[in-house]
Amino acid sequence: MSPPLSPGVRRLGTLLALMLTLSLLAVPPASAASLLSQGKPATAASTESAAAFPASAAVDGNAGTRWSSAFSDPQWIQVDLGATASISQVQLTWEAAYATAFQVQASTDGASWTNLHSTTTGTGGDQTLNVSGSGRYVRVLGTQRATQYGYSLWEFKVYGTGGGTGGERLLSYNKPGVASTSQHDANCWECTPARAFDLDPASRWATSSTTGWVDPGWIYVDLGATAQISKVVLQWDPAHARSYQLQVSGDAASWTTIYSTTSSAGFKQTLNVSGSGRYVRMYGTQRATAYGYSLWEFQVYGTGGNPTDPPAPPKDPANPPALVWSDEFNGASGTKPDAAKWRADPGTGPNNELEYYTNHDNASMDGQGNLVMEARKQATPGSACPTDPLTGSGTCQYTSARMNTGTKFHFTYGRVEARIRVPKGNGFWPAFWMMGADFLTGRPWPYNGEVDIMEVLGKDVKTSYSTVHAPAYNGGGGVGAPYTLPSGADYSDDFHVWAANWDSKGIVYTLDGRTVFTISKDQVEQTRGPWIFDHPFYLILNLAVGGDWPGPPNAATPFPARMLVDYVRVYQ
């Protein structure tokens, strides 16, 4: 046991502890300044090896990586803090190739510089420099080397307050693009470089069909300022690159490769990369097909640059979702569809259908809570349809109903359901489906997107189909599946509830509350092409007669035939 301290010693210890406490309080708290430079875009006058010693290595927080310059004077390295900051300290960790004479400088624009620190007697090693100034850019400018080699920094840390947030973000949205060639013809309208950077998955860039189906082919984006690149996302068209490089540049003339492959399979590729530059290029050296190069999306992520904020993505439905729109069809017998919710869509149908859709003449309430959509054997004078095999006439021999919410109600995401009873008979084609609302402003099918919730063919009422259609997969190539009732029953025997649960991850189809098919956005992008269903859609109900898929009616087809709709509901 140690002997007890005398009162005098105890008083001295107390005094020393008090003095130490006061001295600590006199030091500004370290938390007043934050590390602003880590992970931010860094550039340099030169690099000894862009692959081994890039400028980004000095601001990556890894003490085992470094930037190294060419073996000449002067040389510099600079970091973009993302926004103007108040700079209070700079820490430099030199490699053996250090600067005897150098300045630490700040700038608001990367062009005009102000000295924060200057020395001609640098000794290398670890240097902590307390400075005072402000700027978005901070630079170390070496003017005299201490060795025959260049300048090399393991770490270049800038502390202060302000600056950018530093989080990874999309840098390429709506930025200018340049390409080796581009296509603009009936097969690919306005497939210019800008289409790859517009966040519109239904538009694309493609090399020219007359001069661009050659190797190499390339496209690059101007990010507006130097950036630190951390991720690139490519959504390829079938005309993709087998071999290509991702490259960065500060001047769009001299390029550094940050990713390379000779075995690309196309579709969607998310590539984690590391590099810095104002320009980012996809440089294709071998095509996978006889055609050119084409990208639906070319997205660049990182920090720095001069990004434009993209539109906010739509919100997923609440859990549980709430009813936001419905029609229960409870009108009196003979009442027409609610004009505040539906509009008639008269005229001849697509897909070589044989009916003429009337202006609600074939749609009304039955007084028992149902909408009746009736197909009739009824000619429409002055109309033109494909030749009816029963009569040999080119005049439309049938009438029916088609209506939609196009000018009344659009929505993005939700649970969409309808309780429907379908008719039986050769040639009938009842459907409950959705179209992308941009179809109404002139965007052609399938670029607007189509979501089929229910399709049944009257010649096989034991099978129902749910499908999505997009530019890269449509018609017979749409993504979907057939399904039957568990008991093998007939869909025309009774009402059934078809629903689509649609959100940012995809669509889950259900029949009478039972999941029958799931379409994953991620899987579609990885295997079929871009997902184009993250924007407003409207609802459609129709009963077609004839067409390429169901075939024509025959002598046994019963007319009139009725599609009954108990309700349509949308939850979000």
Burial class (CB in 10 A: 0-12, 13-18, 19+), 183: buried
**Is 450 a catalytic site residue?**
yes
CA pair distance 292, 210, nearest whole angstrom? 10
CA angle, residues 351, 355, 356, in degrees to nearest 5: 110
Helix, coil or strand: residue 406:
coil
Place of tokens 């005094």: 15
CA pair distance 268, 529, nearest whole angstrom? 7
The DSSP result for 275-309, as a single string, is EEEEEEEEEEEEESSSS--EEEEEEEEEEES---P
Contact of 519 with 529, CB cutoff 8 Å: no
Residue 241: other Cβ atoms inside 10 A: 28
Q: Which of 95, 155, 374, 450 is catalytic?
A: 450
Cβ neighbours for 474, distance < 8 A, ≥ 6 positions apart? 445, 446, 450
* Among 139, 86, 80, residue whose Cα is nearest residue 304: 80
Cβ neighbours for 83, distance < 8 A, ≥ 6 positions apart? 136, 162, 163, 164
Determine the residue type at 266: G
How do strand 355-357 and strand 398-400 relate by DSSP bridges?
A: parallel
CA pair distance 360, 347, nearest whole angstrom? 11
CA pair distance 551, 373, nearest whole angstrom? 20
Cβ neighbours for 163, distance < 8 A, ≥ 6 positions apart? 36, 40, 81, 82, 83, 84, 85, 136
Residue 242: other Cβ atoms inside 10 A: 17
**Is 168 a catalytic site residue?**
no
DSSP H/E element including 410:
none
DSSP state of 522: H
Based on its alpha-carbon atoms, the radius of gyration of the chain, rounded to whole angstroms, reads: 34
φ, ψ at 477 (rounded to 5°): -100, 10
Residue 163: other Cβ atoms inside 10 A: 24
The residues that bridge with 499 in the sheet, in sequence order, are 417, 510
CA pair distance 523, 184, nearest whole angstrom? 30
CA pair distance 266, 528, nearest whole angstrom? 10
Residue 192: other Cβ atoms inside 10 A: 19
Helix, coil or strand: residue 572:
coil
Catalytic residue positions, numbered: 450, 455
